[in-house]
Structure formats: C-alpha cells, structure tokens
Chain A
Amino acid sequence: MVKFLSEEWVEIGKNYMLEKLDPEKDLKSITTSLLGVVEHIPPDDTTMNFYLELENGQLKDFIVNTGDTFEEKEATYEIRGNYGTYKSVLQGEMNLGIAVLKNRLKVKGSKLQALKLIKPLDGVIVSLKEITDEFEE
C-alpha cells in the first residue's frame, strides 16, 4: 500500500495490473490512453498528472509527472479534477462515472466515448484502489 501519485505508487500499480488483471476478462482487450490531471494537491496546491496506456488490454505505460500536461505522449482522453475527487474515487466513496456525471472530473474529448470506457477501466480503478492508502492531507 502506497501514497497516491508517488513513484512507488506507479511501480506497484504497474506490477499489480500486470499480475492480477486479465487483459481480456478484466480489461475487455481495450486499446486506449488516458491522462489524469490532478489539481490542488495539498499542501502547496500543486498539479500532477498520470498517463496510462493500454493496448489490447495490456498495460503499456503508466507514468506520473508534475504539471498539468504530459508532453511526451498525447492521450486519447484527458480527465481533470481536484485531488479530493481522485481521493474519493480511490477510497471508494464515489465511482468514476458519477464523478464524471457530476462534473467533478471533466473529460476532454467525447463524453459518450469516455462513459463507454468506464466499465472496461473498472479493473484499473479497482487495482489502484487496492494499492493506494495514503493521501496528502
């Protein structure tokens, strides 16, 4: 169990997804990429992002960066929201879909396509929930 957005979080997350998730069953063999932008991170009100790429249900990339853009790769979807919302999702208080529908997470790109992604991404969210237990206060 690790701290959200730490280097360790990425490493453990990668391993967890590779080991525990079945590309076909858990990730519906999807090919997509997602940039999650996390704003208002305590205590200094900073912004970070994580880039996640899947190809045929296989995790291809999972990277954490500072700032609100990721220059190296262009993601198919960008989901932007504050730290508290991501925390609520990872603590299981709110699901990803409702966070999008309540505009707590803002989607760049087609909302329809993003909503279609939510189910296939369930496995990723469950994995991140499993490994994340520490947050900035």
Chain B
Amino acid sequence: MTSDNVIASEKTSLKEAVEIAKKGTHCGMCRFDFLGSGVCPAGKKHGFLAYWPQGRMEIVKQLDSGRVKPTEKLKDIVDSCNLCGFCDKQCNFITQLRPEKVAKALKEYVESLDKSEFKNVLEDDILRGLREIVGEEWATNDPNIISSYTFTILPLDSELNYYVVMPENAEQVSKIIKFANKNNIPFLPRGGGTAFSAAAPTVLVKGLSLERGIVIDLYRLRKLEIHPESCTATVGAGITMFELQKGALSHKLRALAAEAGAHVCSNIVTTGIISTWGNRYGAFADNFIDLTTVDGEGNIKKHSDWERDNPYSTEPGFTNLSLTPHNIVTEAVVKLHPIFDDEEVVLVPFDNLRDAYRLLIKLGKRGIGLSLAVLSRKYLAEFLSPTLQISKDFDYVCKNYLKLNYVVSIICNKDDKKIVEDMVDYTIGQSLMKNLILGAPRFSTLKDSEFMKILSEEKDPLYAIFAGPMRDHLEKALDPSPENVAKVFDEDLQDFFKTVYSKPEMTDIVWLHAFRILPTRMLRQQMFMGPGGAMWTGDENHYLNWIQMFSDMGDKLNVEHSLGFITPLDNGKFAYMEYDYYYDHNDPDVCDRISKIVVDSMEQSLVMGKVLTILNYLFKGIYRKEHVLYPIPKGISKEEQILFKELLETILGEEV
C-alpha cells in the first residue's frame, strides 16, 4: 500500500470517512463537554486541533486531496485516539455525523502503511525558537497538524508552510510575538475558529486568513475563576462560552453568552458578544471590567493599568476596518448577572414580521425582558429539531398550516411576563415548548395530516392552535417523550439520547437560551453565512426594507435564506439583525453566489444608511458601544461608494 494515491481509493471505510469529513463544518462542539457525556481525552491532553475529532476529520480530507502526506506525528495522532465514542455522541446531537468512523478509518489507514511511508519532519531555527518559549511539546511545524487548522484559520489552498504554537499564558504570547516580529514572520491568534470557518468557503477568506507564518492557538489559556462576591469571572482565552456559563450557573449567575463553542475572549475582541441578552446586559465594552491584552509589538497591557492611552475609543465608520485584531485578548474579567428564581420564557407567535418587530422594539425600549429577540420560523425549526429532515418538515408545517413565521422570544421574570401577556392575545410558554422539543419528530409528521388541513382553514390558525381548544389536540398529537425523540437517532445511540432528553435542562428554554448549544444545528452538514449588522430603530420602514433587501438577494441568487434573529441593543435604540443563507460548502458555484451576496449586501447596507455592517464593527468588540454605534452612519456618498469598492478590491482581489 502506498500513500501516493489518494487515500479514498484504498478502502471503502476511507471513502465513507472522507464523505463524513466533507460534511463537517468545524462547529467545534467536540471540544467541550456540553452533554455531560465526556470530552475527547486525546484533544484535552495534546491540545493541537489535530488531536480533536474536528481536526482528525480535516486531516482525512487533506490526506485524501493529496495536499499532505503521512508524517511520523500522524502515528501519534491516531494512537492517541482510543475510540471512546464521546465525539459520536456530541457530534450526532448537533450534526448527525459520526466522527468516530473517521477516526477509525484514519487509524486503519495509518496502521496499513509501511514504515517508509512516514515522512520525518525536521526542526528548523524558527521552531527551535518557539519551543524555547513554550516547551518542546507545544510548538510544531508538522504538516499533518498544520493541515488540521485548514478551514478554521488557514485558507483551503494554502501551502501549509506554517508553525502552530500553543502558549499557556500572556507572557508566552508576548514572547512569541516579539520572536515573530524579530524574524519577520506573520502571526494570527486562533480561538474557536468557527467564525472563520463560515468565511472560509467565500471571498472573505483572503482577507481574514493567515497566508503563512505562526498560528497562535490559544486553547491552553484555560483559566476560569468565578468571583460570586463581585459577580465577575476571570476567563482565559481558551475558555468557551459554555464553560463560562456552566461555572457561572453553579453560583446562580449568568454571563452574556454567544454560541456555546465561541471562545469568550476571542468573541469579545472580534465583534463583541452579540446575544439576545444584550439589551439588558449590554454590548461591546459593557461586558467586561478588565482585559489583559498583548499588542502587535508583544507589549502586555491591562485596561486597568494607570497611565495608558484610552483603550475604549475607536474611530467609527467602515473605512476604519481592521481584518485582524489589534490586540490578542489573553484574559478577560467579565461581568456576571444574577439569575432570578421566577424567570420564565414567553414566546409570542406572529405571521408577519412587522408586528413582531413592533412588539420587540416596544419591549426593548421599555426594558422588558432579560433576553429579547424576534426569532424566525427557520431558527425555531433548526433549534428544536433533532435532524435536518425533521427541521425541514417542522418548518413546512409552521409555514403552510400554522402561519407561524416569527416569534418574539422573551426570557423574563414574572412581573414582566404579566406585562407581555397583557399586551398580546396569546403566548407560548415553557410547557408547550418542552412538548415541541420532545414531540418534534411527531410534529413534523403532521405534514399533510387532516388535523393540519383543518387548522389551516381557520381564520387565524395561530389563535386556534395557541389560544383555542386545538392546543390540547396538538399537545396530545405530539406524544412528547425522550423515548420518541431518541428514536430518530442511530440505533446504537438511542439509549444515550433518551437519557440526554430526559435531563431537565434539555427542554428548559431559559437554560437553552443561556447555554446556546442548539444554534450550532444551523451548521449540520451545511454551512451558513449570516450577514447583517445593527440598525437604528427609529424608522420602522427603513429597518424592514433593509431585511427585505437580504431576502430579495437570496431569491435573486437562488440560495436558501431566512431571517435569523433581531435583538435590541442600547435600550431598543438599535437592533442587531442576522440574515442567514444556507449552502453546501463543498459546492463552488453556490460558494461564489454566497460571496456575491456578502459583498452586495454590505454595499447596499452602507448605501441605505443608519446601518452598522460587519465592516463597522469587526475587531471592535473591546471598545465602548457608544464609539462603535455612534454617530449613526448616514448613507454613503457616491465618492465613498467608489472607495468602498476599492477597499473590497484590496481585500478580495479580482474576485469581487
């Protein structure tokens, strides 16, 4: 057997492994224990992405493409996996993939190779220098390890001429940067990598990736301390939102949370933590009291240092765009917030966006709700459904029979709940949501049922189902139970998923909102791109026209699309909106169309005015929101539009 041929041709199991790996989207959910079922022991021990399930999947793809050849280190990577199956449980919950099959196929492939097939990679002066800083184990130039970073910081077509280094504290980060500068080598920090993976198949990759040099993987900065007395937490750059939230919850506190797998520090520095809890808990620099940063010269600074220039201020506008962080945030002291005993979820269903938006902004301006957002039908379907097919059917039923297209989702205490209930005709509460989660498979089978046909003939199906007698019929028809959800998973995992869905938190909408493990389901076996931004809410028509522009673009370019969410900021004066496009990241044609949408929607947003696109706030998360959001941008002039095109040409090259 030789490694000269593409590996997929060698064994059927490898063909299957490559197919599984291609469907992976680097959500990173295999790197922390969100189901209480354990986390990959090899990844935890060795740190480098190659030792984690997502890294092994990327290696299989890279070996198959011929971009990388087996090295001595590859033996170590496969030996470190004991096929414990933790990854299958985690990944299957989110994506229905089986990464253990990939790990097994990779193991078999490596074991079948002749000793002479493994390349020995030599240490060079740069690697020696990096190892002097972090220790021999934590710096590498091994192509297999490097290849595992493709898609999450390295472009898909790179030559793999990189080093990966894993510092364990700010001092080591500082030394690495000074060393890199002295040797004229570019570098880029890596947190969770998921944000980059969404950009990787598009034109954005050129601007955001590292073209060569040193990847500084921040996973080893694992400090996590909760300070209940001050309602704060000290968080190292390797800590995920889920881990922070779990630590906070043990003290009956809550952090402003992005999606579960996002690294807290990276998220702060990249866009600020954008969350449905932002209207109450704040945005941008509201969320931390101190940061430890390492700048481009390797200087370590704290925001709390006396005698330093204002670290909270930034120049507004799209031309102040930065494609890399000005600083690496190695540690943050973040604010935590009290959890109330009487918190509940209230969802208000709508058939049209205008009414949902009006309620959202009204509540936002009145400061009602801890978490507050308009969620689209598609979002609900993706989050609540255990499989992709069920989510499609769920979406179909909501759209065609219930006319349930949007919900305003409010997490609030009892007093606020009463205010909301007085404002609307009917609501959905925790009990029905729990039944929808446990009854999602059955709900999706109601497609084309007599029950739904009768319901759809009602004048107001939403009223009939949520406020009328048909609600009981629906709840009975759902037949909700952990057993019934578990049945849709692979047979060997059904007992496990029955246990998972029996846990109270898995159907607790407040918990799910805070821990945000379900949004990753948007990445199951497909990619999504979520452009949008924040817009001034003073002009309702302007806001809704902005959303319509994204919808029209999706129709025009024939890409599956849907509003994601809208959530107010700064007491409802602004609202952040994400519009999602779903696509197959292995299809170059649709990737081109997504690229066009990204570019065109940004331009149109800037022309419309009152919008802060990603160009306005990328890598500005550490600044005061007042400096990022204000002054409210006017629509750009013709001259600025030309400059915008030149800027894009600079970033993206001729592709634009």
Report the minimal beta-carbon distance from A118 to chain B, rounded to whole angstroms.
7
- Taking a contact as CB atoms under 8 Å apart, the answer to whether B186 and A116 are in contact is no
- Taking a contact as CB atoms under 8 Å apart, the answer to whether B184 and A101 are in contact is no
- Taking a contact as CB atoms under 8 Å apart, the answer to whether A118 and B650 are in contact is yes
Report the minimal beta-carbon distance from B623 to chain A, rounded to whole angstroms.
15
How far is A48 from B320 in the complex, measured between Cα atoms in Å? 27
How far is A118 from B319 in the complex, measured between Cα atoms in Å? 13
Against B, the Cβ 8 Å flags (1 = close, 0 = not) of A74-107 are 0000000011110100000111011001111010
Kindly list chain B residues whose C-beta atoms are within 8 Å of the C-beta of A98.
Answer: 206-207, 323, 650-651
- Taking a contact as CB atoms under 8 Å apart, the answer to whether B651 and A93 are in contact is no
Against A, the Cβ 8 Å flags (1 = close, 0 = not) of B196-210 are 000000000011000
Against A, the Cβ 8 Å flags (1 = close, 0 = not) of B301-336 are 000000000000001010111111010000000000
How far is A115 from B644 in the complex, measured between Cα atoms in Å? 10
How far is A81 from B536 in the complex, measured between Cα atoms in Å? 38
A40, CB-defined interface residue at 8 Å: yes
- Taking a contact as CB atoms under 8 Å apart, the answer to whether A111 and B315 are in contact is yes
How far is A87 from B185 in the complex, measured between Cα atoms in Å? 11
Report the minimal beta-carbon distance from B523 to chain A, rounded to whole angstroms.
27
B647, CB-defined interface residue at 8 Å: yes
Known contacts A82-B184, A93-B211; A103/B296 CB under 8 A: yes
How far is A115 from B320 in the complex, measured between Cα atoms in Å? 9
- Taking a contact as CB atoms under 8 Å apart, the answer to whether B296 and A97 are in contact is no
- Taking a contact as CB atoms under 8 Å apart, the answer to whether A42 and B320 are in contact is no
- Taking a contact as CB atoms under 8 Å apart, the answer to whether A112 and B211 are in contact is no
How far is A115 from B211 in the complex, measured between Cα atoms in Å? 22
How far is A101 from B209 in the complex, measured between Cα atoms in Å? 12
- Taking a contact as CB atoms under 8 Å apart, the answer to whether A101 and B186 are in contact is no
Kindly list chain A residues whose C-beta atoms are within 8 Å of the C-beta of B296.
Answer: 103, 106
B181, CB-defined interface residue at 8 Å: yes
- Taking a contact as CB atoms under 8 Å apart, the answer to whether A111 and B319 are in contact is yes
Partner of B184, one of A87, A93, A102, A119: A87
List the A residue with the shortest CB-CB distance to B319. A112
Q: Which range contains the number of B residues in contact with the other chain?
A: 20 to 34
Known contacts A82-B184, A83-B184; A101/B651 CB under 8 A: yes
Known contacts A39-B181, A82-B181, A103-B324; A118/B186 CB under 8 A: no
Kindly list chain B residues whose C-beta atoms are within 8 Å of the C-beta of A42.
Answer: 184
B477, CB-defined interface residue at 8 Å: no
How far is A20 from B323 in the complex, measured between Cα atoms in Å? 34
Kindly list chain A residues whose C-beta atoms are within 8 Å of the C-beta of B211.
Answer: 93-94
How far is A39 from B181 in the complex, measured between Cα atoms in Å? 9
Kindly list chain A residues whose C-beta atoms are within 8 Å of the C-beta of B185.
Answer: 84
Report the minimal beta-carbon distance from B574 to chain A, rounded to whole angstroms.
23
- Taking a contact as CB atoms under 8 Å apart, the answer to whether B181 and A103 are in contact is no
B182, CB-defined interface residue at 8 Å: yes
Report the minimal beta-carbon distance from A132 to chain B, rounded to whole angstroms.
16
B643, CB-defined interface residue at 8 Å: yes
B421, CB-defined interface residue at 8 Å: no
B600, CB-defined interface residue at 8 Å: no
B458, CB-defined interface residue at 8 Å: no
A45, CB-defined interface residue at 8 Å: yes
Partner of B319, one of A45, A103, A106, A115: A115
Known contacts A39-B181, A40-B182; A101/B323 CB under 8 A: yes
Known contacts A112-B320, A118-B646; A40/B186 CB under 8 A: no
Kindly list chain B residues whose C-beta atoms are within 8 Å of the C-beta of A83.
Answer: 184
Interface members, chain B 513-536 (any A CB < 8 Å): none
Partner of A97, one of B182, B317, B650: B650
Kindly list chain A residues whose C-beta atoms are within 8 Å of the C-beta of B326.
Answer: 103
Against A, the Cβ 8 Å flags (1 = close, 0 = not) of B275-318 are 00000000000000000000010000000000000000001010
Interface members, chain A 14-44 (any B CB < 8 Å): 39-40, 42
Kindly list chain A residues whose C-beta atoms are within 8 Å of the C-beta of B646.
Answer: 97, 115, 118-119
User: Considering the complex of A and B, which 7 residue pairs feature the smallest CB-CB distances, nearest first?
Assistant: A84-B184, A97-B650, A112-B319, A101-B323, A102-B323, A102-B324, A83-B184
Interface contacts beyond A84-B184, A115-B650: sample of 6 additional A-B pairs, CB < 8 Å, sorted by A = A42-B184, A97-B651, A98-B650, A112-B317, A118-B646, A119-B646
